[in-house]
Amino acid sequence: MRPFRFLPALLLAIVSGQLAPTWAVGPARHYCCAAPPPSQGGSGGGSGSGEHTQPTRPDPAPGGTTSPGSVTPGAPSAGSPGFASPTTPFPGPGDSGTGPVSTGTVPSGSGPSTPLPSGSGGAPVASGPVFIPPCTDAAPALYGATTEWQADDSDWRAWWQRNRRSLLDIERHVLNVEGRVATGAVTERSASERVRLEVVPALIETLRESRDPALTQSTLFALARLGEECDPLSRSRILAALQPSLSIRNQPVLEGAVLALGAFGSEEQAQMLARILEGEKVGDLMRDANVDERVRSIAALGLALLGHRSEREDVRRFVVHHLVRSLQRVDFAGNDVDAACALGLGIVPVASDPDSRDGDRIAAGSREAQVRALLAVLQSKDAHRSVRAHAATSLGSLLGGLQADGKDGSALRGEAIDALREIASRKRRADAEVVQSAVLALGHVGDADAEALDRDVREGLVAAGDLPDGQARGFSMIALAEAAARPGAGADKLAGTADAALHLARKIERDRSGGGGWASLALGLLGRTLRESSQALPAEAQRALVHALEKGSSTDVRSAACVGLGLAGDRAAVPALLAAFRTARGADLRGWAALGLGLVDARDAVPELRRELAAARTQPVLFEQIATALVLLEDPELVPTLLHWAEDEPSREARTSLHAAIGLAGDRRALGALLAAAQDRSRSSQDRALSIRALGEVADADPLPWSTALLEGVNYRAHTNAMADACRLAMRATD
């Protein structure tokens, strides 16, 4: 008997996905679900060029019973739309992702209680693309370069750009402005009706007729972010408009459509996204698409966004189940999918179960099991560094959530902190991205009380300030501020806050190797959190920030000091900020000084900022910062002025800045003008795309854009190329 006669067949089975032994990839794969591995669909031969061919988009009408892209479920629990019951460890056979696409009525008790829309006149929505000639103009580049990260990504400004929305608290200022110019209740009601009756139909029509990739992407995300704003009928129409975009033969548009479906947050689409994640084509919708590693990784992010937005426990468990199953899958492909799944797990927390056993291998069973699964990935020697890096920040986020919810979990927390501290220390050689993420994760799980474990966290973060990697040093200061600002459960809840503030102040004064900018930003973050609890930074720390602004050794340090003073809300710093705004030679420092004035609520500076805004129309960066400051200062004249300027602005670059500022301001008085501009077919597709992007921001009533979950608190330096492109797209679509 030949001992290796079956080896080729065995290897072929593994490669084809028919067999996925956990032993094949080491410890990182041992934690996952007990369900059988998914089957792999063909990858197809979609076009990744600028060609934009698009299916016919019939006008969706209410009352239909077809659900394009939905999977005929098996036998889930009553009342569940094809998802696993919260009491089951993983989805049943109907959720395996292998069933056919439904083209008929959803079975009673297994589908959504509200029927999905059909095509015009009750006909089903188009099941496959009807291709039309591509647009004649060359498609613009929709993504930035997907090469190595640029050096400036190690700058504190890159962190600020991705984390600023929660810190700026824009929505509160927008509501204050609207409340002053009209009766708040009337404004909100009329604006919501206008969104439902005018904006949504106009965007659906634009998506149907668009042949330009940039216009299509802007419209996809504008519609996706309006889902929670609309009634069930409008949501059904939006969903029916979004789905056919999966047939567009343009790779960036296809990827945008997949991400937009997740951002829309329709729970009925969880199975569709899960199937794309597993490499399958969804019926005729993706007949000509290339379901490659990039599309699968973006489907993972979209599925995670859907779970993040859902309030249903069974939906979140379904999402976690599929993210974990893809993370453990043996397909010998790249690391994009694994890294995206590791990041996604951190934004979809399932319910806590303190009694779950350490040996529980079902990650969807409890949040504690999620943490153990991610901890296994972090400690694996086989997982890629980008996967381990995102596993670190995700487990930190989940543990921080347990802590905020008052769950005990002290043993699990201690085990995770020990692992993170070991990686973040100089005693162990580790990949730079993993060290950076371990540092960030320590900031997520530590607090300011006097307990020994939390003292160890803060001491570890202080020590990480001497790591050789500049990015890890910068992240360590952000993490220290986060941990030192979080009240602990011990008797002295803020025992370590003052020491952390003084440590950061000394970092500003020494300003070695570019650390002064990071320290200034971190000290501002600490001051902001303290201010929310009616406390303040120590006087020495406040003086260090003012001194950095006035006497800083570089523009970088002085600019960061402006943000730090603004976040800390130090009104005594207004004269220094005004002086910097008036006398600085470079536009960069003037812009950060303007932002600082907005953050400290310097209302007396509004007239001067208005004058300088007009002069800065040809300087996009400075213009953006001044406009943001005026939003924070609740200037009621800002949006009407911006709309007037946008009417006849000849510069494309200036028009882009104007629309970005209008969108950021979020004032719903701009709905009419933006809607008219978006529907004006005499304008270029690029200009209409700018108006639609701003229209989506203004019409969206959510306090934070959907992209926040993917951007804030994560290690963007560990992103794969596909993830980096998706996050750049998310930033452009929502910021």
Residue by residue, DSSP assigns 318-352 as HHHHHHHHHHT------SHHHHHHHHHHTT-----
Mean pLDDT of 286-307: 89
CA atoms within 13 A on the CB side of 573: 35
Q: How far apart are CA 62 and CA 491, in angstroms?
A: 58
Place of tokens 């006087």: 539
**Hey, what's the torsion of the CAs at 662, 668, 674, 676, to 10 degrees?**
-160
Reduced 3-state DSSP string for 465-518: CCCCCHHHHHHHHHHHHHHHCCCCCCCCCCCCHHHHHHHHHHHHHHCCCCHHHH
The predicted pLDDT at position 268 comes to 84
Residue with token string 């589908």: 111
| More confident call, 673 vs 184 | 673
Asked whether the beta carbons of 442 and 420 are under 8 A apart, the reply is: yes
3-state class of 166 per DSSP? helix
HSE-up (13 A, CA, CB side) for residue 386: 18
End-to-end CA distance of the chain: 66
Mean pLDDT of 519-540: 93
Q: Both tokens of residue 409?
A: 């979990």
Rounded to two decimals, the pTM is 0.81
Q: Model confidence over 419-436: pLDDT tens digits?
A: 999 999 977 788 999 999
* SS3 (DSSP) at 118: strand
The candidate with the shortest Cα–Cα distance to 557, out of 513, 587, 601, is: 513
- CA distances to 431, 486, 544 from 533, rounded to whole Å, are 38, 11, 22
Torsional sign, CA 475, 481, 487, 492: positive
Higher pLDDT, 495 or 37: 495
Alpha helices in 3-69 (DSSP H): 7-15
Tell me, rounded to whole angstroms, the distance of Cα 356 from its chain centroid. 30
pLDDT for the residue 661: 95
Instruction: Give the model's pLDDT for residue 188.
Output: 52
The helix/strand/coil state of 630 is helix
Beta bridge partners of 71: 101
How would residue 257 be classed by pLDDT, with cut points 50, 70 and 90? very high
Query: Cα separation of 714 and 727, whole Å?
Result: 11
- Whether residue 510 contacts residue 469, with contact meaning beta carbons closer than 8 Å, is answered with no
pLDDT digits (tens, 9 = 90+) for 272-284: 999 999 988 887 7
Determine whether 311 is exposed, middle or buried from the number of CB atoms within 10 Å of its CB (0-12, 13-18, 19+).
exposed
pLDDT of residue 52: 55
Percentage of residues of the chain with pLDDT beyond 90: 59
Amino acid letter, 577: L
Q: Are 257 and 264 in contact (CB under 8 A)?
A: no
209-249 pLDDT, tens digit each: 999 999 999 999 999 999 877 888 999 999 999 999 998 88
Q: What tokens appear for 85 in the block?
A: 């019951």
In whole angstroms, what is the distance from residue 45 CA to residue 254 CA? 13
Give the residue, 265 or 438, on which the prediction is more confident.
438
* pLDDT of residue 12 exceeding 50: no
According to DSSP, residue 198 is labeled I
Q: Of 665, 642, 646, give the one whose Cα is nearest residue 655.
A: 646
What DSSP string describes 97-110? Answer: S-SPBP-SPPPTTT
Mean pLDDT of 385-414: 88
Predicted pLDDT at 32? 39
pLDDT, averaged across the chain: 79
Question: What percent of the chain is predicted at pLDDT more than 70?
Answer: 75
Q: Quick check: 529 pLDDT over 90?
A: yes
Backbone angles phi, psi at 71, to 5 degrees: -100, 130
Phi-psi sector, 131: left (phi>0), alpha (psi -120 to 50), beta: beta
Q: pLDDT band for position 670 (50/70/90)?
A: very high
Tracing tokens 């604006």 back to the chain, one arrives at 191
Model confidence at 94, in pLDDT bands (50, 70, 90)?
Answer: very low
Query: How many helices, marked H, and strands, marked E, lie in the chain?
Result: 32, 0
**Alpha-carbon dihedral of residues 124, 125, 127, 129, nearest 10 degrees?**
140
d(CA 217, CA 692): 10
Beta bridge partners of 101: 71
| Token pair 């086989």 in the structure block, residue | 382
pLDDT of residue 360: 62
